[in-house]
Amino acid sequence: MFVPFLFELRKRKVKVGLQEAMALAQALKMGLHDSSLDGFYHVARAVCVHSETDLDAFDEAYLSCFKGIASKSAALANELEKWLRDPKMRKTLTDDELAMLEHLDPEALRKLFEERLKEQKERHDGGNRWIGTGGTSPFGANGAHPTGMRVGAQGGGKSAMNVADARQYRAYRSDLVLDVRQIEVALRKLRAFSREGFELELDLDATIDETARNAGELEVVLRAPKKPNVRVLLLMDVGGSMDPHAEVVSQVFSAAKRASNFRELKTYYFHNCIYGKVYETDTFREGISLHDLTQHCTREWKLVLVGDGAMHPAELMGGGGWYGSSDDGERMSGVRWMQALADHFDRSAWLNPDSPSYWKGGTAEMLAGLFPMFHLTLEGLGEAMAHLSKGAVRKR
């Protein structure tokens, strides 16, 4: 029965295959699920989920496959518990009657209970055969069988369906917009180190090599310690169509400012497109020319742009006064300024808060041809950092 469940997981892009199927089958064979849906939920989650970003998708798949089954079983269990919590008063047995009930084989008792459970169709109280209350049957609650099986143990735990319905893991999803903490964690993936300063750190590999060359006599080799060497230029689009995304832009800005793995960080603002200048504040009053900016931010800097890339085509391609003048007085369209930025830096990435379905056919698609574009989610930000961490790109 769990094979369709595995396909449901794959449909939601949870990475499961033959290995997970075999492990889950083995777990069920060993009885680790305690013959319950609650147990199956926890065992299957432990076997099939390899990343916290898949926890929510797992719950969705579980609900899709088992909600009908679990809701019926939960209703039956609730009805049974309600009945057993309100038992009929049991009758007083004589010594002879108690003696007749004292000895039952546990295995025989279990098999008999399973048979009764299949046959019984309604509530019973005060009897000696069915699962009930207040009687002398071996099964039930508040009865008088000395070697019977109590049914209706105290509960209190959540059912697997309730746990899955609660959807406790939405915050881990890879397709959700980030908060500051998550952005900080993702930014830490962008790492580069250089050795600087005095030679105070033991170079273990070199020490072993030199000691071996020295016929076993210890030769200690020191080296300069590693220090972060990532320099980032962060350019953020604000205003207009970016107003709905103002909060996430602020979060990216805050996380970047707090990032401990950056050697140097410079942040500037622009609106829709860049026309020769970027600005130190979102009031666009203190501008710095791209020429001066690129003089300081050399090719090795990592360029990160945050914006939806949505604008009137004339703003990007020129026309209607949408131009900026270069240092030699040449009027250049927005796309040429963007191309100049893309050509200057070895590595760049554009983080777009809009869904990728909005990138096609407009100015966002044109900008994606200049800068590798990534969705501003946990997964997308991780991909962007991995891209920026690589070596230089050969320019066409």
Instruction: Report the chain's terminal Cα–Cα distance, integer Å.
Output: 54
Helices (H) and strands (E) in the chain, counts: 15, 16
Q: Please report the domains of the chain, with CATH numbers, ordered by start residue.
A: 1-172 (no CATH), 180-192+229-388 (3.40.50), 194-228 (no CATH)
pLDDT of residue 369: 93
The per-residue pLDDT for 394 is 46
Could you give the CA distance from residue 212 to residue 218 in angstroms, rounded to a whole number? Answer: 8
Strand order in the sheet with 149-150: 132-133, 139-141, 149-150
pLDDT at 396: 42
Give the C-alpha separation, 232 to 11, whole Å: 38
Residue 375 has a CB neighbour count (10 Å cut-off) of 20
| pLDDT the model gives residue 301 | 92
Instruction: Give residue 146's pLDDT.
Output: 47
What are the 10-residue block averages of pLDDT along the chain, 396 residues in total? Answer: 85 89 90 85 90 82 75 56 61 59 58 64 58 55 49 49 60 57 74 58 84 87 72 90 86 83 88 90 85 91 92 83 63 90 94 90 92 90 88 53
Q: Are 136 and 97 in contact (CB under 8 A)?
A: yes
pLDDT for position 70: 47
